[in-house]
Amino acid sequence: MPTQDYRIDGEKIPGNTTIISGSLGWNKQQLMYWAWKQGCEGKNFRETRDDAATAGTLCHLLIEADIKNLPMPDMSKYPQAIVDKAEAGMVNYLEWKLGIRLELKNMEVPLISHKHRYGTTVDVVASANGKTCIVEVKSSNDVYTDYLIQLAAQKAAWDENYPDDPIRGMHILKVHKENASFAHYYFGELPGCFEAFLDLRDLHDRKKQLEKLL
């Protein structure tokens, strides 16, 4: 998805991804350790990253196409072993979807928080068991805290813009990069996560102020 340009009265404001990635230090530690470990094993972490993501990426595409009612991706260009893993993850996703009666409400919704001056785009807003929710699909081997901070920022922006239809649940659908296994994480609330986002929002502005001293 291309970077969204967020503005209030013509003034550009930061997006939540820019705020989190630019100010949160601990989310980089896992990546640095993984890259170091790959190097110790004599591997090029860039090549390993690209190879390992193939099955998970394909399953991610399948799930996203189903949620958003889009055409399914062409799987003929993938090796059969990759397709088998992706389809196995897709079957598990479909069983989960059936159990919670997932129905798409909207997708790629740009939002601006005038109160806290940031923008965000919610990829999927859906109804799950009759409750309005956010659904995030991640190709990852784990669930990280920055995912939760992102969800909290999206929920706050949505609730600010749609107070009559607030977010009542947040779902992370995690697809393992290597084997495309499917896992579901549900959060009714995310205590402390939006407060952490506001701290990062403040750091974003402070960094710009400090850069003026140079």
Rounded to whole angstroms, how far apart are CA atoms 180 and 86? 5
The fold of the 13-211 domain, in CATH, is Trna Endonuclease; Chain: A, domain 1 (3.40.1350)
Q: Does residue 4 contact residue 10 with C-beta atoms inside 8 Å?
A: no
CA-angle at 91, arms to 89 and 92, nearest 5°: 65
Rounded to whole angstroms, how far apart are CA atoms 20 and 2? 17
The domain locations on the chain are: 13-211
Residues 6 or more apart whose CB falls under 8 angstroms from that of 142 comprise 30, 174
Q: Which residues sit opposite 111 in a β-bridge?
A: 120
Residues 6 or more apart whose CB falls under 8 angstroms from that of 5 comprise 12
Residue position matching structure tokens 């609730």: 159
Secondary structure of residue 87 in the 3-state scheme: helix
**For every one of its 214 residues, what pLDDT tens digit does the chain have, with 9 covering 90 and above?**
446 899 999 999 999 999 998 878 665 555 554 455 556 767 665 555 555 448 999 999 999 999 999 999 999 989 999 999 999 999 999 999 999 999 999 999 999 999 999 999 999 999 999 999 999 999 998 999 999 999 999 999 999 999 999 999 999 999 999 899 999 999 999 999 999 999 999 999 998 888 888 8
Q: Which residues sit opposite 39 in a β-bridge?
A: none
The DSSP call for residue 1 is -
